[in-house]
Amino acid sequence: MFEILIKTLKTGTVTTKYPQKPDIAPLGFRGKPELLPEKCNFCGECVKACPPGVIWLDEEKGEKRFTLSCCGCIFCGMCEEVCPCGAIRLTREYELGSKTKDDLLTIIRRRV
Amino acid sequence: MTIEDEREIMGQRLHEKIKNIFGRSLSIREVDAGSCNACEVEITALSNPIYDMERFGIHIVASPRHADMLLVTGPVTRNMELALLKTYNATPEPKLVAAMGSCACNGGIFGETYASGGGVDRFIPVDLYIPGCPPRPQAVIFGLMVAVDKLEQKIRKLEVKA
């Protein structure tokens, strides 16, 4: 019994102070996809590669739109892999809790 | 003042009331609506000594009748559809619903098929979306804090003209 008590006292507190202190995800963690709008050339390779289909291209009033929704994204990194111009990058950000689906969208518009 | 404005004000008042009611603690009933169990593993990790959800007054309870919030995981399969609706109806008002994981948000990797419903919001109103496949325990804590208005939402809609 004393051995267990000594071990418990030696271990101390293991609880993280998460909301007070920011917890940065480890290197190589696949979090929220980030778009670099200057580099994107609307080729559509990522649309074909995305397994859950949360990336889509459409056209409206002479404007090309590229939409990426984090809602439904499985953070596989396929879009980053296939992109020929490196316009998608997965960041280490993971705090994506949102009250609406609309807030999870990222849109690039470009005049044709 | 139009009816819509009045409705909006009433909605805000109700929201404040809910915020006051849930200000101290939150009881959660976890509903597995056809998940792959990865989200369940993360929820289990939430009650271990490292993440320790109980220090915020958030408890997992054994019955929807004791709960303030439903934490739904999975894309709502055909067999779990009725069970989810029954659980939702058994939860007393005021209640919150959180969709945890990408499957619950939008169907995720399962999508919308004959057997898979394609998201919780097609069946019951959802107040909080926590994307991730599965979300980290920290991400779930963050989401729950956003739901009870203890933390600010970080993600916003981004529109860029290039």
Predicted complex ipTM: 0.86
Please give the helix or strand (H or E) that residue A40 lies within, else none. none
Rounded CA-CA distance B80/B32 in Å is 8
pLDDT in tens, A37-72: 888 888 888 888 888 888 888 888 888 888 888 888
Chain B partners within 8 Å of A42 (Cβ): none
Q: Is the distance from CB of A52 to CB of B107 less than 8 angstroms?
A: yes
Distance from CA of B2 to the nearest CA of A (A): 25
pLDDT over 70 percentage in chain B: 92
- Give me the architecture of the B23-147 domain, per CATH: 3-Layer(aba) Sandwich (3.40)
Query: Which pLDDT score, from 0 to 100, does residue B56 have?
Result: 82
The β-bridge partners of A68 are A55, A106
Q: Are strands B58-60 and B69-73 parallel, antiparallel or unpaired?
A: unpaired
Where does the pLDDT of residue B22 fall: very low under 50, low under 70, confident under 90, or very high at 90 and above? low
Query: Which pLDDT score, from 0 to 100, does residue B65 have?
Result: 92
Q: Do B162 and A94 touch (CB under 8 A)?
A: no
Rounded CA-CA distance A14/B93 in Å is 36
Distance from CA of B139 to the nearest CA of A (A): 5
Of B17 and A96, the structure prediction assigns the larger pLDDT to A96
Q: Which of A95, A99, A100, A107 to mutate to test the interface with B (most CBs of B within 10 A)?
A: A95
Q: Of the candidates A55, A63, A62, which has an alpha carbon nearest to the alpha carbon of residue A109?
A: A63
Q: Is B136 on the interface with A (CB under 8 A)?
A: yes
Rounded CA-CA distance B30/B46 in Å is 12
Q: Of the candidates B93, B74, B99, B96, which has an alpha carbon nearest to the alpha carbon of residue B149?
A: B96
Predicted TM-score of the model (pTM): 0.85
Chain A partners within 8 Å of B150 (Cβ): 19
The 3-state DSSP composition of chain B as helix, strand, coil percent (nearest 5) reads: 40, 20, 40
pLDDT in tens, B28-52: 999 998 888 999 999 999 888 898 8
CA atoms within 13 A on the CB side of B152: 2
Chain A partners within 8 Å of B108 (Cβ): 52, 72, 74
Where does the pLDDT of residue A3 fall: very low under 50, low under 70, confident under 90, or very high at 90 and above? very high
Does pLDDT of B21 surpass 70? no
Q: Is A42 on the interface with B (CB under 8 A)?
A: no
For residue A77, count other CB atoms closer than 10 A to its CB.
13
pLDDT in tens, A6-15: 998 998 888 8
Distance from CA of B126 to the nearest CA of A (A): 8
Query: Which pLDDT score, from 0 to 100, does residue A31 have?
Result: 87
Does pLDDT of B5 surpass 90? no
Query: Which pLDDT score, from 0 to 100, does residue B146 have?
Result: 85
Rounded CA-CA distance B42/B136 in Å is 7
Please give the helix or strand (H or E) that residue A5 lies within, else none. helix A2-11
Does pLDDT of A95 surpass 90? no
Return the minimum-mean-pLDDT range out of A26-35, A80-89, B3-12.
B3-12
For chain A, which domains are there? 23-111 (3.30.70.3270)
Q: Do B155 and A95 touch (CB under 8 A)?
A: yes
